[in-house]
Structure 1
């Protein structure tokens, strides 16, 4: 966050002289989103795969000034999308210095701020709040109380001599403190229904009720929320009156194509070793196969975080092999995919009756993903010379203690190897590990098409006749 620019007004009088006028949060988002759309700027940096589906719906909702709930399975980027909303706010906005809420100096709403504005006039001190401070996020949990969201009577203020009916005895909750900002509630159905009721007035009448009396505070907030489908969570639901107050319910989804899945992994994964595009494609296809499998509980979904964790696991396996063999740089090869099923099996929910067969299903779907990727990469390429070379006695061993140069040294000089590397996006003069990764993918495709045999033990795999 940058420091507050020194040239910004510091009093209400300076603010008024500069021609600054208060804008509602909805108007601010409306104006800034329109400006980005007209300028051709990306209003949603880091959001992949939603450009033709979710984002147009969300943009229409914001332009209409609607509160929004995003509905979708786990790991579809709902929270990530909500956090980008802060980028549509003004970078700096004026607030009354010392005020409990983020009130505009020219439009105070609490009794204390109105009294200060009347007493000080144009000398009312102004400070500036960055847009990142105007986005508030709350994970809904069963122990969340009305006081957390709306507010409660502050016993300290009462002990100081104020009466219970005095509005200034209230300690404001999260929603009022987000005045002139965005409130995001994650997993909204997890809020107890009686707590959801407390949000009804906030969303419709924009006032708050605490301990039996109503404060007519014209709150200005945009309320956004996320939720899983009700048939999955079974922990609660969005009550009908609250659902009715959301102007838009938008369904999210997993990436619709392999390219979008790869882009998500490439953007989100923190890779400790080089993982080439072919292996990322394998993992993307693997995740898509999981989402179509009848053995997986599709109500819980297969999170995009699964593909990210899989890529990070493959990178870690490559780094470990590099440490064992001394090969640099550390480059992932298809042999590193073997680490994925065992490590990530617990991230999936299987259908009843599949107990004991989880690893079998994962290995089968991973091999299918490898075969699909190889067909896509090597379409039209004749791999028979490679198969013939191996069958004639050039056995190829790979594993966690086999460097890439040994994989290549086991094969004779074949023109098809250069073609295989080129199809994988690897140049002939690149490190042996990258070329070996492409060759291994070709060998695995020949094994899966029953042109070669493969024998494996705990640490070594041998392709042969």
Structure 2
């Protein structure tokens, strides 16, 4: 709850001290670090690279621009900055610019402060209201960001030179808060010029008004490195105003890639951890492929959408065929079919897109098989396929149907060992709408996990050229 203080007199009696925005952020960040707390929840893979640079920039009080390709978590990182603000901060009630009661800025607020004295009404803003985000688009105007003359106020009878005829834009209305500008170079150059005074002198100028409003704002931005150059779409003086330019990156470690997928994906069925590993390896293979346009990047959203798609395929099969709602290897095919449009291929690869995606998916699957089944002797399973025995799976083949069609082994314990190597850890749904009867379904999902583990073993044997595989009409036959 907001503090129970409603007037300037009560605020002074409470001992409240006014501090600048940068001092506030610096103090809260240092307090969190001293207490061993993590000020950056939900961010993976930046601990030793991006985060230390950002923390040093904030302690120094610098405006910050994050440079990186799409899907690297720039916006998410910017949004966590609001957690470094005080939970509640006082403002003059009804103030357009969220002025501190101790320091009214506009002529209207100064007149109110002089008239009301200690009875000046005080309101409280939550930290979430002090973070403002703007997607920079070419049609953004100076009026949107800084302000302009309001013709309606002039029509009401005010003089054109009266400061009260000004309608303030996004930046002044974010006074004593954080302004985040996504894709900064997409702003037209004349709009970038309008930000120069805000960034350096911390004031604003609106048309011909002699107006000086010392704003207390922290400007943070995101940009693509290709655009954020003197030859790109950013003017040099604005580039010079940012105190810190920090490069972001995709997760460097496989574990961080998996953690991002697990955290962000909203799943409608169980997805075993091993499938997330394949998706993560697949995504990383795309980022290192010469056939993919790396300037546009391969967003983390690619793997997230892939996880959601294979979960949806499992839910579809579970509903149509009364199967266990557990994703299996066969569901990865459905993900690849719909995700190709999320990446850009090099110009010389026209017509080979599906072939390239399938090749990289097989590579990711083979790497995962080696990591999970390394040292396990699967030759008895190969021997069980004697030329007549086959195993059929597919997007509409239930787990029980697949398991029933498996060959019998001299040592049935091999199947148990295969399942044990995969484990039953799942990235479970976080979508409430998808959890109808989910508790009962998860309790009966052993067959789905078992089928998924054996499918992966068979696919590994096929990739090692120990078994054959034929696919068509939604079915896959190993033999």
Q: Normalized against structure 1, the TM-score is what?
A: 0.96
CA contact (8 A) 1:192 1:236 kept: no
SS at match of 1:138: strand
**1:425 is aligned to 2:423:** yes
- Cα 1:235–1:187 change in 2 (3 A) is farther
Count of aligned residue pairs for this structure pair: 458
Work out which of the residue numbers 208, 218, 237 in structure 2 matches 1:241: 237
SS at match of 1:122: helix
Give the drift of 1:165. Answer: 2.1
Aligned match of 1:221: 217
Paired with 1:161 and 1:453, the residues of 2 have a C-alpha distance of 85
Aligned match of 2:382: 387
SS at match of 2:6: coil
1:149-170 deviations in Å (ceiling 9; x for gaps)? 0000111222233222222211
Structure 2: runs of 5 or more not aligned: 426-443
CA contact (8 A) 1:69 1:248 kept: yes
Work out which of the residue numbers 99, 107, 120 in structure 1 matches 2:95: 99
**1:190 is aligned to 2:205:** no
SS at match of 2:134: strand
Aligned match of 1:436: 451
Paired with 2:386 and 2:100, the residues of 1 have a C-alpha distance of 78
CA contact (8 A) 2:230 2:236 kept: no
Give the drift of 1:459. Answer: 1.2
Work out which of the residue numbers 84, 105, 114 in structure 1 matches 2:110: 114
Give the drift of 1:233. Answer: 11
CA contact (8 A) 1:232 1:300 kept: no
Aligned match of 2:436: none
Aligned match of 1:448: 463
**1:313 is aligned to 2:309:** yes
Give the drift of 1:406. Answer: 2.1
SS at match of 2:113: helix
Q: Normalized against structure 2, the TM-score is what?
A: 0.93
Within-5 A mapping of 1:369-388: 369-388=364-383
CA contact (8 A) 2:185 2:227 kept: no
- Cα 1:233–1:370 change in 2 (3 A) is farther
- Cα 1:433–1:234 change in 2 (3 A) is farther
Paired with 2:284 and 2:228, the residues of 1 have a C-alpha distance of 20
Within-5 A mapping of 1:252-291: 252-291=248-287
Give the drift of 1:231. Answer: 5.5
Work out which of the residue numbers 337, 341, 344 in structure 1 matches 2:339: 344
- Cα 1:214–1:249 change in 2 (3 A) is farther
Paired with 2:229 and 2:474, the residues of 1 have a C-alpha distance of 41
1:174-200 deviations in Å (ceiling 9; x for gaps)? 000000000000000000011000000
Paired with 1:88 and 1:234, the residues of 2 have a C-alpha distance of 32
Aligned match of 1:202: 198
CA RMSD of aligned residues (A): 1.6
Give the drift of 1:214. Answer: 3.6
Work out which of the residue numbers 293, 296, 305 in structure 2 matches 1:297: 293
Aligned match of 2:362: 367
CA contact (8 A) 2:468 2:478 kept: yes
SS at match of 1:107: coil
- Cα 1:221–1:144 change in 2 (3 A) is same
Aligned match of 1:137: 133
Give the drift of 1:341. Answer: 2.0
CA contact (8 A) 2:326 2:445 kept: no
Paired with 2:308 and 2:92, the residues of 1 have a C-alpha distance of 47
CA contact (8 A) 2:267 2:307 kept: yes
SS at match of 2:418: helix
CA contact (8 A) 2:278 2:365 kept: yes
Within-5 A mapping of 1:31-70: 31-70=27-66
Paired with 1:426 and 1:417, the residues of 2 have a C-alpha distance of 14
Aligned match of 2:327: 332
Paired with 2:370 and 2:230, the residues of 1 have a C-alpha distance of 41
Q: Which runs of 4+ in 1 moved over 4 A?
A: 231-236
Paired with 2:474 and 2:320, the residues of 1 have a C-alpha distance of 12
**1:89 is aligned to 2:104:** no
